[in-house]
């Protein structure tokens, strides 16, 4: 392909000659080329360069570009140009408003010549570059016109030269920057089969153009979120030039994941301040800008959604070390038989059961025991309310009925237990946070996890959801798809943040409307994805009739019905210590 491109230019430029990987010839686009007084055109032919095949006229009689653009300017059949043909269908579907502001933009451009140009000259940006991009001035703001592919401009962004956050749209505000969201959008078609710079902030495109590189600009990082990858389908390499902010880099990675392997992100060094930009870099480097910017280009690595091999290996061995640590080993339910069976509270653990069998009570006990061991726990409660959870926990710790906790008629022994439990409870609350907000979202859950980790300085976190069927959905008719979507989000949070989940789920009724069927994966209500998402799926079934008030003991059997690493079967029996809202574990069949 490289030799074909060089041959293409040689055939089109009869007086061409090559020296040091640069082809030069008389510019075929200059008006006085026949007199021999026209400028020279140069073509870069360094096979190791990102700009192999890029041409430009030294007098900028036309905008430079790659072979497809050269052919278009020369009226050459695109099929005769080396490389794949550009798909122009996306550009043909664009439509534009009725009102143009071409005349106003011309007036703004004229005013720029009368203004103080120090903002640009300090960055080495010359008047010719400003004229090529038709940059203007309205008396206070720099005006960047968003010309469209039809040759007209319908809106322009006005930016204060001393404060990039002070700006507004002029012209058709509803059209904004146009459908593409890009400044100098015509450049994309010039770079078919080649390289293009994508710059955050129109002013940061100016040094790129001054250095002779092709590029487009965009107003701010929000544009990256709605950027259409199809715009760059014919571009071979796309460099992102961003403001030095984590938010900009995050938006760029999001856009790059959609656009693909062709993206390379230019990163600023740690010593550069927040919001540092290319125009700041140009002012800092002065005459050395070309060399310094070239070094950034050469060292930029192609974007990849995958970790490097080194990072993968490092994270793997770090995970092994963490699992050998004391904090990981503390992720235990407090029930020895259960911990022995599933290896502790790791991954996504789903507990199903019928109404009133004690699912919430069981989960609260596990959650608070983890918190007592200084494991941060987020408890998303949509069933009982914060005060009820606290009262039942305190009752379990003190062996005092909840109805008597607020009373004054406590024995001396009970007062002693009360005060001892109070210290334990208040310490536990640092690690146990109850959330009743029914508008919770996966994004908010991530933030809660980050906050609690930061407060407790513990990397391991357990999230309890009581219950799965009470999580917010857009529509009750979409409950099944909503539950499955939440399970996908839990998987992502588990894998990204190394979070463990305890999730309460409802069960489907049996053939006679009861919940006493043989436990199996199919009895979980409203989701076919539990069997795929759960690391451990358990069912709590009563061995007692909840309609009888006078019972000697209330016994539930806990079954492990599905697990990624452990055999299914009966785990044990759990006896409710009523009315103190705690369970005691025992082996099945023992009393």
DSSP string, 65-77: B-HHHHHHHHT--
**Tens digits of per-residue pLDDT, 544-576?**
765 555 556 789 999 999 999 999 999 999 999
- Cβ neighbours of 227 (radius 10 Å): 22
Look up the pTM and report it.
0.60
d(CA 93, CA 182): 16
Short-list 177, 120, 117, 97, CA closest to 145: 177
Give the pLDDT band of residue 512 (cuts 50, 70, 90).
low
Give domain limits for the chain.
Answer: 2-85, 91-299, 326-405+413-586
Residue with the two structure tokens 């880099």: 249
Q: Is the domain covering 2-85 a CATH 3.90.580.10 domain? A: yes
Q: Which two tokens stand for residue 390?
A: 């606290």
**Predicted local distance difference test score (pLDDT) of residue 430:** 95
The answer to whether domain 2-85 and domain 91-299 are alike in fold is no
- On the question of pLDDT at 400 being above 70, the answer is yes
Mean pLDDT to the nearest integer, 514-524: 73
User: What kind of architecture, by CATH, is found in domain 326-405+413-586?
Assistant: 3-Layer(aba) Sandwich (3.40)
Residue 532 confidence (pLDDT): 87
440: three-class secondary structure by DSSP: coil
Q: Report whether 339 contacts 560 (CB < 8 A).
A: no
> In whole angstroms, what is the distance from residue 244 CA to residue 266 CA?
10
Q: Please name every residue paired with 378 in a beta bridge, in sequence order, or none if there are none.
A: 433, 463
Cα 488 from Cα 348, distance rounded (Å): 11
Instruction: Indicate whether 516 pLDDT > 90.
Output: no
DSSP state of 82: S
Say how many C-beta atoms besides its own lie within 10 A of residue 347's C-beta: 22
User: Which of 72-81, 110-119, 152-161, 350-359 has the weakest average pLDDT?
Assistant: 110-119
* Nearest-angstrom CA–CA distance, 39 and 57: 7
Query: What topology is assigned to 91-299 in CATH?
Result: Dna Topoisomerase Vi A Subunit; Chain: A, domain 2 (3.40.1360)
Residue 474 pLDDT more than 80? no
Cα→Cα distances 266→283, 294, 298, 299, Å? 18, 11, 10, 9
Measured in whole angstroms, the distance separating CA 512 from the mean position of its chain's CA atoms is: 47
Count, residues in the chain: 591
């Amino acid at each position: 392909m490289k030799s074909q491109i060089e041959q293409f230019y040689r055939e089109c430029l009869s007086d061409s000659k090559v020296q040091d990987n640069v082809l030069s010839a008389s510019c075929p686009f200059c008006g006085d080329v026949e007199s021999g007084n026209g400028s020279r055109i140069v073509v870069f032919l360094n096979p190791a360069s990102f700009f192999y095949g890029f041409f430009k006229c030294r007098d900028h009689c036309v905008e430079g570009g790659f072979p497809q653009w050269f052919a278009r300017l020369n009226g050459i059949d695109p099929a005769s140009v080396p490389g794949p043909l550009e798909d122009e269908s996306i550009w043909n579907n664009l439509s534009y408003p009725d009102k143009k502001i071409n005349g106003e933009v011309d007036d703004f451009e004229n005013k720029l010549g009368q203004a103080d140009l120090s903002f640009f000259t300090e960055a080495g940006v010359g008047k010719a570059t400003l004229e090529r991009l038709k940059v203007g001035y309205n008396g206070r703001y720099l005006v960047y016109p968003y010309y469209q592919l039809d040759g007209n401009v319908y809106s322009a962004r006005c930016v204060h030269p001393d404060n990039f956050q002070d700006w507004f749209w002029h012209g058709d505000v509803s059209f904004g920057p146009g459908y593409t969201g890009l400044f100098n959008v015509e450049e994309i078609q010039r770079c078919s089969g080649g390289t293009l710079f994508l710059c955050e902030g129109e002013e940061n495109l100016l040094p790129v153009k001054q250095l002779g590189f092709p590029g487009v600009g965009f107003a701010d990082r929000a544009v990256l979120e709605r950027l259409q990858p199809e715009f760059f389908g014919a571009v071979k390499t796309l460099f992102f030039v961003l403001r030095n902010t984590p938010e900009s880099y995050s938006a760029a990675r999001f856009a790059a994941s959609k656009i693909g392997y062709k993206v390379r992100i230019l990163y600023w060094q740690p010593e550069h301040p927040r919001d540092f930009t290319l125009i700041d870099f140009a002012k800092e480097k002065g005459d050395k800008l070309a060399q310094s910017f070239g070094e950034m280009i050469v060292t930029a690595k192609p974007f990849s959604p995958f970790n490097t091999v080194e990072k993968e290996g490092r994270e793997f061995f770090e995970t092994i070390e963490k699992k050998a640590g004391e904090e990981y080993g503390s992720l235990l339910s407090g029930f020895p038989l259960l911990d022995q069976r599933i290896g502790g509270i790791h991954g996504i653990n789903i507990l199903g059961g019928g109404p009133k069998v004690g699912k919430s009570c069981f989960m609260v006990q596990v959650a608070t025991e983890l918190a007592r061991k200084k494991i941060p726990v987020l408890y998303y409660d949509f069933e009982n309310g914060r005060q009820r959870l606290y009262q039942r926990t305190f009752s379990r710790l003190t062996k005092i009925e909840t109805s008597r906790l607020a009373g004054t008629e406590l024995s001396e022994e009970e007062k002693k237990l009360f005060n001892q439990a109070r210290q334990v409870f208040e310490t536990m609350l640092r690690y146990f946070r109850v959330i009743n907000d029914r508008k919770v979202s996966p994004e908010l859950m991530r933030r809660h996890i980050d906050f609690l980790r930061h407060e407790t300085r513990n990397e391991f976190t357990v999230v309890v959801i009581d219950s799965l069927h009470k999580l917010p959905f857009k529509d009750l008719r979409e409950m099944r798809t909503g539950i499955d979507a939440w399970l996908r989000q839990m998987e992502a949070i588990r894998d990204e943040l190394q979070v463990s989940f305890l999730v309460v789920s409802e069960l489907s009724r049996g053939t006679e409307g009861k919940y006493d069927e043989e436990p199996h994966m199919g009895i979980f209500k409203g989701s076919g994805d539990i069997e795929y998402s759960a690391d451990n799926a358990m069912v709590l079934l009563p061995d007692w009739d909840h309609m009888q008030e006078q019972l000697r003991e209330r016994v539930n059997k806990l079954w492990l019905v599905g697990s990624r690493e452990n055999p299914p079967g009966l785990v044990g029996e759990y006896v409710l210590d009523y009315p103190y809202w705690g369970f005691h574990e025992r082996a099945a069949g023992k009393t």
